[in-house]
Amino acid sequence: MTVKLNKKALDNARKLLKAGDVVHDSRDDWSEHAPSAEEENRFIEKNGWDEYALWHLGVDDEANEETKKRYSFPFGDFKKLHRCGVISLEGRASQNDHDDIAKASKQLLADIDAGEDQATGS
């Protein structure tokens, strides 16, 4: 299994951030905010695998394209980018030596936090 950075998903996350489609939630919120397996299935059925891929910073090119196993490190709820999702995936990517994903997520988190500071005037 070779998981690498999904650059199209990173572009999608940055696009969401630029549009303000971000939930500025806390570290521990991801367990409640992450889509359930049922929500994922409905999203795939409605939007297809290419759209599903855009919500995951990790992709395993060795796995079948039309399986959830191919995609990892989710960062949102199919509507918005979630700060807690980025925090969660950064930690898991770092622990599992996915350095490119960890680096990208760390920068994404910094950009989210910078945007939050600008919005609050901090």
- What is the dihedral angle through the alpha carbons of 104, 75, 65, 43, rounded to the nearest 10 degrees? -160
Give the pLDDT confidence score for residue 121 in this predicted structure.
Answer: 42
**pTM of the predicted model as reported, rounded to 2 decimal places:** 0.92
Q: Which of 119, 7, 27, 38 is nearest to 82 (CA)?
A: 27
Give the pLDDT confidence score for residue 116 in this predicted structure.
Answer: 62
Q: What angle do CA 13, 9, 58 make, to 5 degrees?
A: 120
Q: What angle do CA 94, 95, 100 make, to 5 degrees?
A: 30
Question: 29-83, pLDDT tens digit by residue?
Answer: 999 999 999 999 999 999 999 999 999 999 999 999 999 999 999 999 999 999 9
- Both tokens of 1, joined, read 């299994």
